[in-house]
Chains A and B, each alone.
Chain A
Amino acid sequence: MIKVNGLWHSYSKDNIYAVKNVTFGVEKGEIFGFLGPSGAGKSTTQGILTGLLPLQKGEVYVGGYDLKKPCDDMFNIIGVSFEQPNVYGKLTAVENLEFFARLYDVPVNDPMHLLKMVGLENDAKKKASEFSKGMKQRLVFARSMLNNPEIWFLDEPTAGLDPATAGRIKEIIRDRNKKGTTIFLTTHNMYVADELCDRVAFINDGEIVLIDSPRNLKLKYGDRLVEVEYREEGELIKETFSITDDNERQKLTRLIASGNIETMHTKEATLEEIFIKVTGRGLK
Chain B
Amino acid sequence: MKLWALVVKDIKLSAKSNYTYIVLVFVIVFVVVAVFFVPDEFTNDPEVFVHAGTEGLLSGKIEKALDVDEVVFYGSRDEVISNMKKDRTSIGVDITTENGKMVIEFITQGYESERLKKILEAHVMGWAALETGYEPNSYVTVLESNNPDIPANKGMLPVFLVMESAFMGFFMIAAYVFQDKEEGTIKAYAVTPAKIWQYLLSKVLVFVLFGWVSGLLATIIIMGPGIRYLQFMLLLTSASIFGSMLGLIAAGLFTSFTKAMNVIFVVAFVLGITVIPYYMPSFSPVYIRILPTYPLLFAFREVLFPTGNTVLVYTNVLGYLAASAVLFYIANKLFEKKLV
The answer to whether A binds B is: yes
List residues of A whose CB falls within 8 A of some B CB: 50-54, 72-76, 78, 80, 82, 84-91, 95, 99-100, 102-105, 140, 143
Q: Does B185 contact A (CB under 8 A)?
A: yes
Does B183 contact A87, Cβ atoms closer than 8 Å?
yes
* Contact partners of B195 in chain A: CB under 8 A: 72
- Per the bound structure, the CA–CA distance linking A90 and B9 in Å amounts to 10
Q: How far, in Å, is A120 (CB) from chain B's closest CB?
A: 17
B93 to chain A, nearest CB (A): 62
B9 contacts A99, C-beta separation under 8 Å: yes
A50 and B339 CA atoms in complex are apart in Å by 13
Contacting residue for A82 out of B5, B16, B184, CB 8 A: B184
Q: Can you list 19 A-B contacts (CB < 8 A)?
A: A52-B191, A54-B337, A73-B193, A75-B193, A82-B187, A84-B184, A86-B188, A87-B185, A87-B188, A88-B9, A89-B183, A90-B13, A95-B12, A99-B5, A100-B188, A100-B192, A103-B5, A104-B193, A105-B193
Q: Which residue of B lies closest to A75 (CB)?
A: B193
Cross-chain contact B191 with A75 (CB below 8 angstroms): yes
Complex: A104 Cα to B5 Cα, angstroms = 11
Report yes or no: B16 in contact with A90, Cβ–Cβ below 8 A.
yes
Contacts of B8 in A (CB 8 A): 99
**Residues of B contacting A86 in the complex (Cβ-Cβ under 8 angstroms):** 183-185, 187-188
B interface secondary structure, majority: helix
Whether the Cβ atoms of A143 and B188 lie closer than 8 Å is: yes
- Complex: how many Å from CA A89 to CA B183? 8
Chain A residues within an 8 Å CB radius of B183: 86-89
Instruction: Report if B35 contacts A (CB, 8 A).
Output: no
List of 7 A-B pairs having minimum Cβ-Cβ separation, nearest first? A86-B184, A102-B5, A103-B192, A103-B194, A75-B193, A80-B191, A90-B16
B-chain residues with CB within 8 Å of residue A87 when the two chains form the complex: 183, 185, 188
> Chain B, interface size: which category?
20 to 34
A49 to B195, CA, bound (A): 18
Nearest Cβ distance between residue B177 and chain A, in whole angstroms?
14
In this assembly, does B17 line the interface, its C-beta being within 8 Å of a C-beta of chain A?
yes
* A78, A86, A95 pick with most chain B CB within 10 angstroms: A86
| B192 with A52: CB separation less than 8 A | no
B176 CB, min distance to chain A CBs, angstroms: 11
Within the complex, the shortest CB–CB distance from B107 to chain A, in Å, comes to 58
Closest chain A CB from B211 CB (angstroms)? 22
**Do B188 and A102 touch (CB < 8 A)?**
no
Alpha-carbon distance between A143 and B192 when the two chains are bound, in angstroms: 11
Q: Judge whether B193 and A72 touch: CB under 8 Å.
A: yes
Given contacts A54-B337, A91-B9, A99-B9, contact A104 B187 (CB under 8 A): no
State how many angstroms separate the Cβ of A118 from the closest Cβ of chain B. 16
In angstroms, Cα B12 to Cα A95, docked, is 10
Of the candidates B184, B190, B194, the one whose C-beta lies within 8 Å of that of A51 is B190
CB of B150 within 8 Å of the partner chain: no
In whole angstroms, how far apart are the Cα atoms of A52 and B13 in the complex?
24
CB neighbours (8 Å) of A100 from chain B are 188, 192
With A51-B190, A86-B184, A86-B187 given, name 9 new contacts (CB 8 A).
Answer: A52-B187, A52-B339, A72-B194, A88-B183, A90-B12, A95-B12, A99-B8, A103-B192, A103-B193
Asked whether B13 lies within 8 Å of A51 as measured between CB atoms, the reply is: no
Cβ of B45 to closest chain A Cβ, rounded Å: 54
Residues B183-205 near A (CB distance < 8 A): 183-185, 187-195
- Residue B289 at the chain A interface, CB threshold 8 Å: no
Contact yes or no, B192 A88, CB < 8 A: no
B2 part of interface (Cβ distance < 8 Å): yes
**Which of B2, B187, B337, B339 meets A103, CB within 8 Å?**
B2
Known: A52-B187, A52-B340, A86-B184. A91 touches B12 (CB 8 A): yes
> How far apart are A224's CB and chain B's nearest CB, in angstroms?
43
Contacts of A85 in B (CB 8 A): 184
B227-277 CB contacts (< 8 Å) to partner A: none
B192 in complex: contacting residue of A75, A84, A90, CB < 8 Å: A75
**8 Å CB interface, B1-59 against A:** 1-2, 5, 8-9, 12-13, 16-17
Q: Which chain B residues lie closer than 8 Å to A75 at the CB level? A: 191-193
- What is the bound-complex CA distance between A12 and B248, given in angstroms? 24
Determine how close the nearest CB of chain A comes to the CB of B333; give it in whole angstroms.
13
Q: Tell me the nearest residue of chain B to A53, going by C-beta.
A: B340
Q: A87-B183, A88-B185, A90-B16 are in contact. Are A50 and B5 (CB under 8 A)?
A: no
**How many whole Å from A64's CB to the nearest CB in chain B?**
15
- With the chains together, A31 CA to B187 CA distance in Å? 24
- Name B182's closest neighbour in chain A (CB-CB): A86
Could you tell me the distance in whole angstroms from the C-beta of B184 to the nearest C-beta in chain A?
Answer: 3
In the complex the two chains form, what is the Cα distance from A95 to B191 in whole Å?
Answer: 18
